[in-house]
Each structure stands twice: as structure tokens, then as C-alpha cells.
């Protein structure tokens, strides 16, 4: 090497670069798997060839079309190549032309564009900085200002939003969404400033609840307010401070909103709820609103608005803090040096959070990831799991070391308050924790983890207990204390770590650092996860290698890397476990089977003809084939062998293969003009199943016969009835019911006309074909299924209901005691115990309706 080149450890330093330093350099390093190397080709350009052009700053208003011209003094012919710092140009732009045009520019188009021009003898780079104005709206209130957005969606049970603003005065309406237009009552939400203090008000139908900060915000400075609501409870944070909590009075838990959502003010102050300002006069917000985020989605309020009135541009660049002739761009965050990554300030420098598929100090390297590896607080984020009474998660993990680290985390808030669920390495053991409001439940694996070994981890949480299973070993079990309820989870689902710059982990987790190792084959109930394709956010994730070296920024050459892990080659790929045995892959070739009772052997292949031994007790019916058996248990008994005596009262649990039978006299259909009412409450995670049936006798084919049915079809409720000339099919696609939550259903029929009401909110109507108003159903009434579903329903349905029916009512019967009223049943047991808070029954019958 030349005399001005120094080789210091893993760094090659060239002082006073000269033309003779040009050439190919190779870095070699030896690891446990052999020699790694990487080549660098150094080009040295003469100063007289490089012609630095002055920086042009071009300003354009938001929504306009902008032309950028590459101005040079090069002699023709010249070739051009356009690029944008840290991003790609739109596909419609021809990057090889001297002049390009950007259409309908917005905040994402602002930045530095570079034109590289070359005529063969000389080259030059021409940078152009595009500044887009009008990004942040200013509300003047001269005389009125507001932005109209669509109604806050999916807000009936829960929602969360963030809003960032800079106020000129200490009072004003920041946000309002109501229910009854042109009326001063009804449900509503509002966010106001009252003498500088943020106040959030909401009304669910009983009275107005106020959540107030304990201090005022400062005028002419930026502030962020975050609101998190779940049923009656609202939590507010102001600039990360809080929580400020309010709980609504009364019996209602749902929020009905039908009007548009307004920011900064409203069109007519006389049409908002009277409790928003009380006896004080109406005041609109004066100042800037720069960011509005609903859930995890940032809203472009100037692009997505339905209407805007009295809006001008917030002069965020009026005090230009950019030094050395830097150009100021209206935005919430500064342009950074991380390319496609995010730039994070550190004490002495910066660090880059690189998205999936990028690596390096400045996210400059492209990498392929099939099996993610995590270290140094890397993470992947997925969508929030759907609420469910039973949550199950599983993954394959390999720890590089057994230091504490978060494998999975999801919580109620990003500020570390409320419910959460976590899976972590803690004190050399796997630990499963969750909290639904009664304190953390902790379930710990008994054996220590081994570094470098793959483990299969399964964790489940139901209403009564939690379980942690590692490599098919007997589960570690934890019982829940206090009231049992569904976890309220609203943050993204973080895997391998979490976003420390935006999320404060709940103190109940007891682990605060990211995981060091590899994770694959993630499965979470209520969430469809492809480990790579469903990623919503990530930071500094690498590809997992079988022998992971700490590489000090020396990366394996593509020809020396081992091929990525192929999950088609796991020990479980061929489904070796028979008879419903659970397979746990231990290595790419080895596995372990966990067998059901009555089976043994490496593949659970050995069994007896157990029905000969009459394993089903209490007159249960044994069904078997050559490999396994099951018992159909009569009413009053449950268990694998019908060995447990049980008693039904007002609720019943079904597994898709059972039913309860009631006398047809409970719904006689004798009077054509009488309105028939069927009411029940259910919860399920299944998207298919027959809930209610009234048709013909069990030995009759239901094809072409009169019937009444309620079923779950593709996750939605379907109410149907046929009076002999064609069915009425009433289905409401606005509300899914396969989310594990309780849902009330009220079915009504008068002659050919019928209606279905879900959760006292969603109502659909329908009418059967023909002219007759009489229905002829000679069979008994069934819930949960029927003795022979395919035959009795004329092949309309093939599977029974899986889940819980928490209450059942016919006509004026009030809430039925299922154990007393049922005349027959099969494979039915009581639902798990839990707090009975949110159902349609109070006392003995249907009594609560919200109008």
C-alpha cells in the first residue's frame, strides 16, 4: 500500500488522498464459520473534473406542480440522472431527462434533489432543494375557521388519537365530534383549551365526563395531547405527562358518533353539545395544528378534509433556525442523514434506525431477511391483535446469550400504563407476563435457556389462567387473581424488542432491553402474521445466521454466507405427529411429538381400540377409528371421558359438535300478526357455525322446508327464515362477531318481515318471498347446533357453534334457565366464570335499550 495508508485494527485510513490510492481493497476477517471478506473499489476524481454547482432553493405551495431543471455549462451531448436524498422519485418521473416535473407536491416531496450530469469528459452534480409551503394549517378565526374530516371511525367501544398544536391564545376548541346534528344533546367528544389547560369531554348517553390536565400549556410553543378511550374510561397525556384519567357514569359503554369530525372549530357553534363550553361563550382555536394521528395512522388533514374554512398557512419557518444558508422546510421532524431510515440524536452524534431490508451505519446496505435476528434494541412491529377472551401466541426462538431481553410486547398505552402482555428472557428463563387491571400475572419456565439452541415457545392467556409451554414440555401455569376480562391492547405488537424512542415499557414487565437472538414462525391469535410481509415498523433487524458472529461491522460476503433458513425443512414439515399430536420442531431435522391421552410412540402412532374398553362414562357415546376416539357426552356431563358432572344455568359453552334442545311450544308460531322475538348473547372466535335452528324433525331432510336460523357466516351474523316460497336472508356486514367479545342479538319476525339488531346499535331488516305469513316448523328448537346439521338444515350448514351463549330468551319467557328448560343436549358445559358486566339482561329479561 502507499505510504499515506494506515491499517489500524478493522479500519483502513487514507490520509491526503492521492490518485495513486485508487484501486481494489479487500478486508478479510476470520470467524467461527471461516473467512469473511468484503471488497471496496476506490475511485479518485481530480478536482478540475469535479465542478461543484451552487445550491438552488426552489419554493412551491402544497398541491402545485413543480419543474426542476438541471442547469449546467457542459457541452453537448450530456446525459442526466436524477435522484432524491433518502428517498425514491415518483414512478411517473423520467429520471434521465434534463427537466423533471413533480405533480401535486406535498410534505413528502420536500427535500434535496440531485441531477448528475456527464458529457464523457466532465461531470457535475447539481443539487436543488425543494421547499414545500402550506404544509401546516393556521386557524385564524376571522371570523371562523375549521377543518371538516370524516366521522371518527370504529369509536363505539374504544379509540385513541394524538393532536399536536401551537396556540396563540389560552382558549379554544381543538376538536369536536358529535352524534345528533342540529341538536345540542347526544353523545359527543371534545378537546378544548380553557385558560391554557387541555380539557377532554365526552358523553356516552348519561352525563358528560371531564378529563383535565393539572397545568396549562405555554402559548406559541408546540404541544401534543394524546387521548386513549376504552369503554367508559378515558386516559389523557399532555406532552407525555400524565396519566389524567376519567370514568363515565351510568350504564352505557358505547359511543355513538354520526357527525363529521371538526378540527379548530365548528361551522355553527349553536349545534354543538351545550356541555362543551357550558356557560362560557364559544371560542374557536387560534393557532397551528400540525399533526393528527388516529390509532397508528397519521392523517393528512389538508389532503383528506371534506371542507376547510378560514385556513391560512402556519409560518413555522418565520424564525429560520437553519444555519449556514440551510433551507427551512415546514415539518414536525428535521430531514436526517439516515437515508430511508430514521435519525435519532445521541449525546455526541446520531444513530440510524434502519427499516427492514436495510443495514449499515447510514442504512446504506441492502440485505435480504428471511429469518430475523435482533440485537442492540432492534425490533419489528406488527398490527395490534384483535381483542379476544383467549389469546394464544407461539414462536421459535434462538438466544445468542441469556441476558434479559424482550421477545414480545403489546400494551394499552405507549406511556407504560394499563394492560399489557409480554414474553421475555428474564434471569436466564423464559417468562410470560400479562396484566388486565388486577396486577401482573407471572409465569416462568422451570429450566434455563441454552444459548445457540432453537426453542418452540407457546403462551396462552384465557379468562381464568395463563400457560407457558417450551419444547412440548409440561406447561407452567398461572392462575388469574381478581376480576377476569379481555386484555385492552392498543399499541403495535412488538417482537424482538420495542421502539424505545416512542414507547415506555410497562414496569410490570421487569425487562427493559431488547432480545439478542433469532425469532421465526410467529403466530398470534386474532392476527394474521407473515413474519416479513406484515411488518408495520422495524429497526436494525439483520438476517439470522446459523452461527452468529459479532462482526464489528464486517459482514459476510454473499458467496460465503450459508443459505437462509428454510422453514420447509423443519422437523415438523412432514407433519409426523399422528392422532392430533402436537409437533414441536427442535432443529431443522429433529422434532418432538406431544400426544393426546391414549396414544404413545415417537409419532403418537400406537393406540388401543379404546372403545372396546368403554372409556366414555355416564352413558357417553364412544366414537373411534383406527387411531383415536372421542366421547359425546349427554346433558349434565363433560370431560374427555364424560367423567365430570356439570350443571347448566343461564350460559352454555359449545365446541362445534354439540347442541341444546328445547320444546317447540316455546315458539309456537300460532298468531300470524304477532311479533316473535328471539334474543341471545354470544361470544366466539370462530367465523362459522350454527347458533339457532327451528325447523323439522331430526329424521327429516330440511331441503325446501320452512325454518328459522341464526348462524355465523364468515365472521358475520346471518338471520334467515323461509315460509315456503323463498328465504329472507338478513346479514349485517358492519359488525363482525368473531372477535371473542360479547355481542347481543335480538331477532324479530312478523309474518314475512324480520329484523336483526346487534349490540343495540346495528339493525338490518329483510322480507321473505311469497305471500303467506305462516311458518310451519314441526321440530323442536335448537341452539349451538342440531343432532344432524347437514340433514336437518338441508346442507345449509355443516358445523355447530363454537363459543359461549351467555343468555337465551324466547318471546316473553325472560332469561331461560338452560339446565331446566332444555329437554336434551350433547357436548355442552358451562362457560368459564367471569364478571357479568356488559350484557343485555338486567334482572330476568331484556330491559335496557339506548335510544
607-to-442, 633, 656 alpha-carbon distances in Å: 37, 22, 26
- At residue 695, the pLDDT reads 92
Options 1.10.1030.10, 2.10.25.10, 2.60.120.260, 1.10.3210.10; CATH for 610-645 is: 2.10.25.10
- At residue 8, the pLDDT reads 75
- CB-based contacts of 812, cutoff 8 Å, min separation 6: 677, 845
- At residue 717, the pLDDT reads 94
Mean pLDDT of the region 155-174: 92
Options 2.60.120.200, 3.40.50.300, 3.40.605.10, 1.10.287.610; CATH for 652-846 is: 2.60.120.200
Mean pLDDT of the region 285-293: 92
56-133: which CATH topology? Immunoglobulin-like (2.60.40)
Q: Work out the pLDDT band at 461, boundaries 50, 70, 90.
A: confident
- At residue 194, the pLDDT reads 94
3-state secondary structure 165-215: EEECCCCEEEEEEECCCCCCCCCEEEEEEECCEEEEEEECCCCEEEEECCC
Per-residue pLDDT of 301-326, as tens digits, reads 888 889 999 999 887 766 555 555 55
Per-residue pLDDT of 238-256, as tens digits, reads 998 889 999 999 888 889 8
- CB-based contacts of 609, cutoff 8 Å, min separation 6: 624
Per-residue pLDDT of 486-507, as tens digits, reads 888 889 999 999 998 889 999 9
Determine what percent of the chain is predicted with pLDDT higher than 90.
39
Q: Report the distance separating Cα 243 and Cα 414, nearest Å.
A: 11
137-313: which CATH topology? Jelly Rolls (2.60.120)
CB distance 374 to 496 below 8 Å: yes
Residue 336 pLDDT > 70: no
Q: Report the distance separating Cα 314 and Cα 301, nearest Å.
A: 14
Could you tell me the residue ranges of all domains in the chain?
A: 5-42, 56-133, 137-313, 372-543, 574-607, 610-645, 652-846
User: Nine-digit cell at 211?
Assistant: 378529563
Q: Which residues of 335-350 are buried (b: 16+ CB within 10 A; e: fewer)?
A: bbebbbbbbeeeeeee
The SS3 call for residue 74 is coil
Q: Work out the pLDDT band at 527, boundaries 50, 70, 90.
A: low
- At residue 328, the pLDDT reads 67
Mean pLDDT of the region 653-676: 89
Q: Span 372-543: which CATH code?
A: 2.60.120.200
Q: Report the distance separating Cα 705 and Cα 738, nearest Å.
A: 29
Mean pLDDT of the region 213-227: 93
Per-residue pLDDT of 725-735, as tens digits, reads 888 999 999 99
| Superfamily in which the 574-607 domain is placed by CATH | Laminin (2.10.25.10)
Q: Work out the pLDDT band at 805, boundaries 50, 70, 90.
A: very high
CB distance 519 to 372 below 8 Å: yes
Domains 56-133 and 372-543 share a fold: no
- Of the candidates 763, 757, 730, the one whose C-alpha atom is nearest the C-alpha of residue 840 is 757
Comparing 185 with 557, the larger pLDDT belongs to 185
Select the highest-mean-pLDDT range: 47-56, 102-111, 743-752.
743-752
Lowest mean pLDDT among 177-186, 268-277, 434-443, 499-508: 177-186
Bridge partners, 36 (sequence order): 29
The SS3 call for residue 304 is coil
Amino acid at each position: 500500500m502507499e505510504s499515506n495508508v494506515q491499517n489500524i485494527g478493522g479500519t483502513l485510513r487514507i490520509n491526503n488522498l492521492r490518485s495513486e490510492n485508487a484501486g481494489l481493497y479487500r478486508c478479510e476477517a476470520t470467524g467461527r464459520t471461516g473467512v469473511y471478506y468484503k471488497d471496496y473499489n476506490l475511485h479518485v476524481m481530480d478536482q478540475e473534473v469535479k465542478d461543484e454547482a451552487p445550491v438552488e432553493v426552489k419554493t412551491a405551495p402544497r398541491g402545485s406542480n413543480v419543474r426542476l431543471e438541471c442547469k449546467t455549462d457542459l457541452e453537448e451531448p450530456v446525459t442526466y440522472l436524477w435522484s432524491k436524498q433518502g428517498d425514491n422519485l415518483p414512478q411517473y418521473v423520467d429520471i434521465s431527462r434534463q427537466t423533471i416535473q413533480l405533480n401535486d407536491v406535498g410534505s413528502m416531496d420536500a427535500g434535496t434533489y440531485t441531477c448528475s450530469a456527464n458529457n464523457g469528459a466532465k461531470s457535475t452534480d447539481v443539487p436543488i432543494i425543494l421547499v414545500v409551503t402550506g404544509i401546516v394549517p393556521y386557524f385564524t378565526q376571522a371570523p371562523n375557521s375549521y377543518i371538516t374530516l370524516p366521522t371518527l371511525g370504529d369509536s363505539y367501544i374504544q379509540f385513541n388519537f394524538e393532536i399536536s398544536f401551537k396556540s396563540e391564545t389560552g382558549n379554544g376548541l381543538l376538536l369536536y365530534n358529535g352524534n345528533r346534528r342540529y341538536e345540542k344533546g347526544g353523545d359527543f367528544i371534545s378537546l378544548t383549551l380553557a385558560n391554557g389547560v387541555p380539557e377532554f369531554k365526552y358523553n356516552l348517553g348519561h352525563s358528560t365526563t371531564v378529563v383535565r390536565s393539572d397545568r396549562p400549556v405555554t402559548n406559541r410553543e408546540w404541544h401534543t395531547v394524546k387521548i386513549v378511550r376504552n369503554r367508559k374510561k378515558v386516559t389523557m397525556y399532555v406532552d407525555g405527562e400524565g396519566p389524567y384519567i376519567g370514568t363515565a357514569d351510568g350504564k352505557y359503554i358505547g359511543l355513538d358518533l354520526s357527525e363529521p369530525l371538526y378540527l379548530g372549530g365548528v361551522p355553527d357553534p349553536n349545534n354543538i353539545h351545550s356541555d362543551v363550553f357550558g356557560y362560557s361563550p364559544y371560542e374557536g382555536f387560534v393557532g397551528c395544528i400540525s399533526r393528527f394521528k388516529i390509532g397508528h395512522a397519521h392523517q393528512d388533514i389538508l389532503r383528506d378534509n371534506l371542507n376547510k374554512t378560514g385556513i391560512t398557512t402556519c409560518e413555522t419557518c418565520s424564525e429560520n433556525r437553519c444555519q449556514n444558508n440551510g433551507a427551512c422546510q415546514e415539518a414536525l421532524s428535521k430531514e436526517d442523514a439516515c437515508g430511508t431510515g430514521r435519525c435519532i440524536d445521541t449525546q455526541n452524534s446520531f444513530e440510524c434506525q434502519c427499516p427492514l431490508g436495510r443495514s449499515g451505519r447510514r442504512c446504506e446496505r441492502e440485505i435480504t431477511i428471511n429469518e430475523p435476528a435482533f440485537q442492540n434494541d432492534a425490533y419489528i412491529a406488527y398490527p395490534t391483535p384483535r381483542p379476544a377472551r383467549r389469546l394464544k401466541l407461539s414462536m421459535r426462538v434462538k438466544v445468542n446469550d441469556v441476558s434479559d431481553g424482550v421477545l414480545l410486547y403489546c400494551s394499552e398505552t405507549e406511556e407504560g400504563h394499563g394492560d399489557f402482555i409480554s414474553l421475555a428472557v428474564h434471569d436466564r428463563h423464559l417468562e410470560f407476563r400479562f396484566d388486565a387491571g388486577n396486577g401482573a400475572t407471572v409465569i416462568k419456565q422451570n429450566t434455563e435457556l441454552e444459548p445457540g439452541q432453537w426453542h418452540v415457545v407457546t403462551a396462552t392467556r384465557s379468562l381464568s389462567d395463563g400457560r407457558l409451554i417450551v419444547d412440548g414440555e409440561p406447561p407452567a401455569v398461572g392462575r388469574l387473581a381478581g376480576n377476569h376480562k379481555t386484555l385492552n391492547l392498543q399499541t403495535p405488537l412488538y417482537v424482538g424488542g420495542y421502539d424505545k424512542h416512542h414507547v415506555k415499557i410497562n414496569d410490570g414487565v421487569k425487562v427493559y432491553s431488547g432480545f439478542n437472538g433469532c425469532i421465526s414462525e410467529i403466530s398470534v391469535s386474532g392476527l394474521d402474521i407473515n413474519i416479513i410481509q406484515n411488518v408495520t415498523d422495524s429497526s436494525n433487524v439483520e438476517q439470522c445466521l446459523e452461527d452468529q458472529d459479532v462482526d464489528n461491522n464486517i459482514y459476510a460476503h454473499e458467496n460465503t454466507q450459508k443459505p437462509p433458513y428454510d422453514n420447509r425443512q423443519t422437523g415438523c414439515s412432514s407433519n409426523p405427529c399422528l392422532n392430533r399430536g402436537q409437533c414441536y420442531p427442535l432443529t431443522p431435522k429433529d422434532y418432538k411429538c406431544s400426544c393426546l391421552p391414549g396414544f404413545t410412540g415417537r409419532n403418537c402412532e400406537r393406540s388401543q381400540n379404546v372403545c372396546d374398553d368403554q372409556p366414555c362414562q355416564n352413558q357417553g357415546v364412544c366414537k373411534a377409528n383406527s387411531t383415536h376416539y372421542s366421547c359425546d357426552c349427554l346433558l349434565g356431563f363433560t370431560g374427555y371421558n364424560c367423567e365430570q358432572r356439570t350443571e347448566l344455568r343461564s350460559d352454555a359453552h359449545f365446541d362445534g359438535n354439540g347442541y341444546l334442545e328445547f320444546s317447540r311450544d316455546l315458539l309456537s308460531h300460532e298468531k300470524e300478526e304477532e311479533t316473535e322475538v328471539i334474543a341471545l348473547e354470544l361470544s366466539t372466535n370462530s367465523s362459522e357455525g350454527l347458533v339457532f335452528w327451528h325447523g323439522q324433525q331430526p329424521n327429516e331432510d330440511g331441503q325446501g322446508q320452512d325454518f328459522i336460523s341464526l348462524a355465523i357466516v364468515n365472521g358475520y351474523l346471518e338471520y334467515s327464515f323461509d315460509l315456503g316460497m323463498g328465504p329472507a336472508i338478513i346479514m349485517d356486514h358492519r359488525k363482525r362477531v368473531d372477535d371473542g367479545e360479547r355481542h347481543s342479538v335480538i331477532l324479530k319476525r312478523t309474518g314475512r318481515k324480520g329484523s336483526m339488531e346487534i349490540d343495540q346499535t346495528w339493525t338490518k331488516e329483510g322480507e321473505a318471498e311469497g305471500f303467506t305469513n305462516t311458518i310451519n316448523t314441526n321440530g323442536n328448537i335448537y341452539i349451538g347446533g342440531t343432532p344432524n346439521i347437514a340433514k336437518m338444515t338441508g346442507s345449509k350448514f355443516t358445523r355447530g357453534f363454537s363459543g359461549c351463549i351467555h343468555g337465551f330468551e324466547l318471546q316473553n319467557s325472560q332469561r331461560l334457565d338452560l339446565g331446566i328448560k332444555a329437554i336434551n343436549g350433547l357436548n355442552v358445559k358451562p362457560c368459564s366464570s367471569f364478571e357479568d358486566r356488559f350484557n343485555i339482561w338486567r334482572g330476568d329479561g331484556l330491559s335496557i335499550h339506548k335510544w
